[in-house]
Amino acid sequence: MSVKRSTRLDFIREIINEDNRTGKHGGRVHTRFPPEPNGYLHIGHAKSICLNFGIAEEYGGLCNLRFDDTNPVKEEQEYIDAIKEDVHWLGFDWGDREYYASDYFEQLYQWAVQLVKKGKAYVCDLTPEQVREYRGTLTEPGRESPYRNRSVEENLELLEGMRAGRFPDGSRTLRAKIDMAHPNLNMRDPVMYRILHACHPRTGDRWCIYPTYDFAHGQCDSIERITHSICTLEFENHRPLYDWFLDQLGIFHPQQIEFARLNLTYTVLSKRKLLRLVEEGHVRGWDDPRMPTLRGMRRRGYTPQAIRNFCERIGVAKFNSTVDIDLLEHCLREDLNRRAPRVMAVLRPLRVVIDNYPEGGVEQMEAINNPEDPGAGTRKVPFSRVLYIERDDFREEPPKRFYRLAPGREVRLRYAYFVTCREVVKDEETGEVVELRCTYDPATRGGAAPDGRKVKATLHWVSAAHALEAEVRLYDHLFTEPYPEDVGEGGFTDCLNPRSLEVIPRCWVEPSLAPAQPLEIYQFERLGYFCVDPDSTCQKLVFNRTVTLKDRWAKIEKAGKANV
RNA sequence: UGGGGAAUGGUGUAAUGGCAGCACGACUGACUCUGGAUCAGUUAGUCUAGGUUCGAAUCCUAGUUCCCCAGCCA
């Protein structure tokens, strides 16, 4: 089976098509997503997940979820659970194929024994420091360990002793006997097993020796009959070693294909750096909406579909690139535009009194829930004499290209009436505008003028007496620099964006939002998409701004073109 | 002065000896009861130098730049 897509094939799918054409695996396609359970998944992992699960799906194959749990010192059950949850959230399913490298510990050990018997592995007593010294450098060959030529019998006995817990951590290792002068450092007698008296989240303390990733990964793929083992570029140097193990053992040989990991502007995507952000308190946790973790993005309001679309659009290649975060946000808006119900909310309220509107009068105005989806229907929004509009929507001295409200100017209140600003009320001491006195034209009910006259702007609003109070959290990029990793001196924390979070404690939202539930996403008209935060209570809704709408006026103003 | 990879508009990615295309961004304009959405248009690229060829992003030679590797991490 070969796959044609609307977009051109990437080099990985090309390889698979070719393998299928030549019958390399009998047309079988079997991939796997192999996370280490030592942290939370982020957008970079999403790229790999979409690739592996996506390819399996396209070729009618399978994709396993396999935890690379070979280092009990760093791994935890909590991460295993979180990873499963996140992969499911993205919309992928591994059926009953949930595997663990630790499932194969006994087999791996037997293979190690086999290599010892073949004279291809030995127990080495060098300390970690000595191993480093003996390894040589990039340009100079290493030296052979004095323990390299122990007899098979002695090696077997020592290996058993290691497994039986007779030696302290770090005192010995099992090493492959390859070539200490090899130009590829990974081939200079790499460690296969190390002694670690640690409790493993799955195997408890059944083991006190653990295989290294290098000795485990290729064989795990082999056991699962993975046809295409897709991984990131840094493992390219390891491929000869995996091949060596597979060949020595004479077992099924998956094909490893390496691609470039994702980088995104204005963010960092390494587990170590994300951990620092959390530990040093630069963010509120792994699910902080500013984090590029899947949990953070979920809380922020990202949809699985938006992320999957993004992963498809960025493509796959071997070039080390950095994707513009604008593309991610574009995919987000594209998806949210289709699905998010519209609603009116005023973030920075300015009080407006409609002088000629009856005192105590209330009307229910009909509003469209989603112009992109006629099936979403309509709702009623209460209108009354005292309203709030956005402070940004009024200028006492409007620049040329400012279309919104100004003294003497008429605008439309969405789904309601045309109103004209008659008077500006200011605080006598500060001079701050505190209220606008307006009049409305009763003939424009619903927002259209029977005489056909036009207004240049439509403003969103809420009725003061009916609005619900809400807290809104505005987010911006976590870093001020597009390449935070490249800033000098102290590194990426030097360019943390001090304005990455702005909390507006008292905003007003229309009453239809009363039953809103955590993680629901709305478009606040003219402002952006907002997601209900789990911090919400029945007293007070809390919203996260997922992403703004494209804002032409902001662009004009920022470019200094407001008056031209 | 080792080995393994990679270089196409600002960004990401196609073209596999035959018109350098698509998307994001930026910039125009049209439309609009969201300055949203939508639509139309403009902008801008083959790392360098030679060579092969009727024809080169693609093949060859030399160079340049960038990434990865000296964990008992993955």
Q: Å from A139 (CA) to B56 (C1')?
A: 37
Q: What is the reported pLDDT for A490?
A: 73
- Of the residues A435, A460, A485, which one is the last residue of a structural domain? A460
Same domain, A291 and A411: no
Same domain, A417 and A358: yes
Residue A140: which nucleotide is closest by CA–C1'? Answer: B2
Query: Within a 13 Å sphere around the CA of A162, how many CA atoms are in the beta-carbon half?
Result: 28
Q: What is the reported pLDDT for A173?
A: 98
Q: Please give the average per-residue pLDDT across A544-560, as a whole number.
A: 96
Same domain, A441 and A497: no
Residues 252-271 of A with CB within 7 A of strand B: 260
Give dist(CA A79, CA A40) in Å, integer.
Answer: 6
Q: Is residue A479 situated within a structural domain?
A: yes
Nearest Cα residue to A137 out of A197, A182, A189? A182
**A350-376 residue pLDDT tens:** 999 999 999 999 999 999 999 999 999
Q: Is the pLDDT of residue A303 over 80?
A: yes
What is the three-class DSSP state of A230? strand
Residues A167/A161, Cβ–Cβ less than 8 Å: yes
Sorted by sequence, the CB contacts under 8 Å of residue A79 that are 6+ apart come out as A37, A38, A39, A40
Q: How far is CA A493 from the centre of its chain?
A: 19
Same domain, A418 and A525: no
Portion of chain A with pLDDT greater than 90, in percent: 97
What is the three-class DSSP state of A436? strand
Pairing state of beta strands A528-532 and A62-67?
unpaired
**A33-84 residue pLDDT tens:** 999 999 999 999 999 999 999 999 999 999 999 999 999 999 999 999 999 9
Q: Is residue A481 situated within a structural domain?
A: yes
Q: Is the pLDDT of residue A5 over 90?
A: no
In which band, very low, low, confident or very high, does the pLDDT at A472 lie, cut at 50, 70 and 90?
Answer: very high
Same domain, A100 and A23: yes
Q: Å from A321 (CA) to B19 (C1')?
A: 29
Q: Which two tokens stand for residue A525?
A: 């008209």
Same domain, A127 and A221: yes
Bridge partner residues of A547 (DSSP): A529
In chain A, how many domains are there?
A: 3
Q: Is residue A10 situated within a structural domain?
A: no
Q: What type of residue sits at position A240? A: P
DSSP of A238-268: GHHHHHHHHHHHT----EEEEEPPP-BTT--
Q: Å from A8 (CA) to B50 (C1')?
A: 33
Residue A445: which nucleotide is closest by CA–C1'? Answer: B33
Same domain, A22 and A80: yes
Q: Looking at the whole model, is its pTM more than 0.90?
A: yes
Q: Please, what sign has the CA dihedral across residues A345, A347, A349, A352?
A: negative
Residues A163/A203, Cβ–Cβ less than 8 Å: no
Residues A108/A163, Cβ–Cβ less than 8 Å: no
Nearest Cα residue to A420 out of A382, A383, A457? A457
Same domain, A290 and A160: no
- Nucleic acid strand B within 7 Å of A550 CB: yes
Q: What is the reported pLDDT for A35?
A: 98
List, in sequence order, every beta strand (DSSP E) within A55-196.
Answer: 62-67, 98-100, 121-124, 173-176, 191-195
Residues A190/A241, Cβ–Cβ less than 8 Å: yes
- Of the residues A460, A486, A505, which one is the last residue of a structural domain? A460
Nearest Cα residue to A265 out of A335, A321, A331? A321
Sorted by sequence, the CB contacts under 8 Å of residue A139 that are 6+ apart come out as none
Same domain, A118 and A249: yes
3-state helix/strand/coil string of A457-495: CEECEEECCCCEEEEEEEECCCECCCCHHHCCCCHHHHH
Q: Please, what sign has the CA dihedral across residues A270, A272, A275, A276?
A: negative
**A251-287 residue pLDDT tens:** 999 999 999 999 999 999 999 999 999 999 999 999 9
Same domain, A388 and A518: no
Residue A318 catalytic? no
What burial letters (b/e) apply to A124-153, b meaning 16+ CB within 10 Å?
Answer: bebeeeebeebbbeeeeebeebebeebeee
Distance separating the N- and C-terminal Cα atoms of chain A = 59
Q: Is the pLDDT of residue A6 over 50?
A: no
Strand order in the sheet with A191-195: A121-124, A173-176, A191-195, A209-211
Give dist(CA A464, CA A461) in Å, integer.
Answer: 9
Residue A426 catalytic? no
What burial letters (b/e) apply to A218-229, b meaning 16+ CB within 10 Å?
Answer: bbbbbbbebbbb
Residue A367: which nucleotide is closest by CA–C1'? Answer: B33
Bridge partner residues of A12 (DSSP): none
Tokens 């006598």 locate to A428
In which band, very low, low, confident or very high, does the pLDDT at A3 lie, cut at 50, 70 and 90?
Answer: low
Q: Å from A317 (CA) to B14 (C1')?
A: 11
Same domain, A89 and A173: yes
Q: Is the pLDDT of residue A338 over 80?
A: yes
Nearest Cα residue to A175 out of A130, A220, A139? A130
Give dist(CA A147, CA A71) in Å, integer.
Answer: 25
H or E element at residue A425: strand A418-426
Give dist(CA A482, CA A264) in Å, integer.
Answer: 8
Catalytic residue among A261, A273, A351, A380: A261
Q: Is residue A265 situated within a structural domain?
A: no
The CATH number of whichever domain residue A38 belongs to comes to: 3.40.50.620
Q: What is the reported pLDDT for A284?
A: 97
Q: Is residue A266 situated within a structural domain?
A: no
Residue A456 catalytic? no
Give dist(CA A563, CA A399) in Å, integer.
Answer: 5
DSSP of A290-333: TS-BHHHHHHHT--HHHHHHHHHHH---SS---B-HHHHHHHHH
3-state helix/strand/coil string of A73-114: CCCCHHHHHHHHHHHHHHCCCCCCCEEEHHHHHHHHHHHHHH
Residues A40/A89, Cβ–Cβ less than 8 Å: no
Residues A253/A243, Cβ–Cβ less than 8 Å: yes
Same domain, A129 and A216: yes
- Of the residues A205, A237, A259, which one is the last residue of a structural domain? A259
Q: Is residue A232 situated within a structural domain?
A: yes
A549: DSSP letter: P
In which band, very low, low, confident or very high, does the pLDDT at A4 lie, cut at 50, 70 and 90?
Answer: very low
Give residue A551's domain range: 271-341+470-559
For strand B, give the nucleotides within 7 A of a protein CB.
Answer: 1-8, 10-16, 21, 23-28, 33-38, 66-74
Backbone angles phi, psi at A426, to 5 degrees: -120, 155
- Cα dihedral value A453, A459, A460, A462, nearest 10: -80
The CATH number of whichever domain residue A426 belongs to comes to: 2.40.240.10
Catalytic residue among A24, A36, A437, A557: A36
Mean pLDDT of chain A: 96
Q: Please give the average per-residue pLDDT across A409-430, as a whole number.
A: 98
